[in-house]
């Protein structure tokens, strides 16, 4: 699942970087506003998660210690809730940068066309 999200954002980012995607700023305002809200929510969730206690106490015996490590790993391991939030935050940042680059592409194309047609008058 994570790969699908990353590859879609990566494809969009690469297309924007190569100039294949352009979008008018006014058309992108709503998307940028929504991305900003998502980024704010992710930042708040990650801040709350960072403040949470990362140690689970289930007893000093070997079984309790093993269960504790497993619980912490599911919460903050490589394939955990926090890892998914961090990946989503990273992909949201990449999507925002690609969208802004697409706006810049539009401005460059529009300016180039204006200069081209201005010379022909």
pLDDT in tens, 54-69: 666 677 788 877 887 7
Q: Is residue 21 part of a domain?
A: no
Instruction: State the helix-helix crossing angle for 62-76 and 81-120, rounded to 10 degrees.
Output: 10
Q: Which residue has the higher pLDDT, 65 or 101?
A: 101
The number of domains in the chain is: 1
Is residue 20 in a domain? no
Q: How far is CA 44 from the centre of its chain?
A: 14
Give CA–CA dist 95/23, Å, rounded: 14
Q: Is residue 66, in this structure, part of any structural domain at all? A: yes
Domain holding 10, by residue range, is: 2-15+26-120
Q: What is the pTM of this model?
A: 0.71
Look at residue 59 and tell me if it is in a domain. yes
Question: 54 lies in a domain?
Answer: yes
- pLDDT band (50, 70, 90) for residue 121: very low
Q: Is residue 87 part of a domain?
A: yes
Token pair 């201005």 is found at: 118
């Amino acid at each position: 699942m994570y790969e699908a999200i990353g590859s879609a954002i990566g494809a969009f980012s690469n297309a924007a970087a190569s100039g294949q995607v352009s979008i008018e700023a006014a058309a992108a305002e709503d998307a940028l506003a929504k991305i900003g809200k998502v980024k704010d929510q992710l930042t708040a969730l990650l801040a709350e998660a960072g403040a949470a206690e990362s140690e689970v106490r289930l007893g000093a015996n070997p079984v309790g210690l093993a269960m504790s490590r497993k619980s912490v790993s599911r919460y903050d391991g490589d394939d955990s809730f926090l890892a998914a939030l961090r990946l989503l935050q990273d992909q949201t940042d990449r999507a925002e940068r690609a969208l802004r680059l697409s706006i810049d592409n539009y401005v460059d194309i529009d300016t180039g066309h204006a200069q081209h047609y201005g010379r022909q008058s």
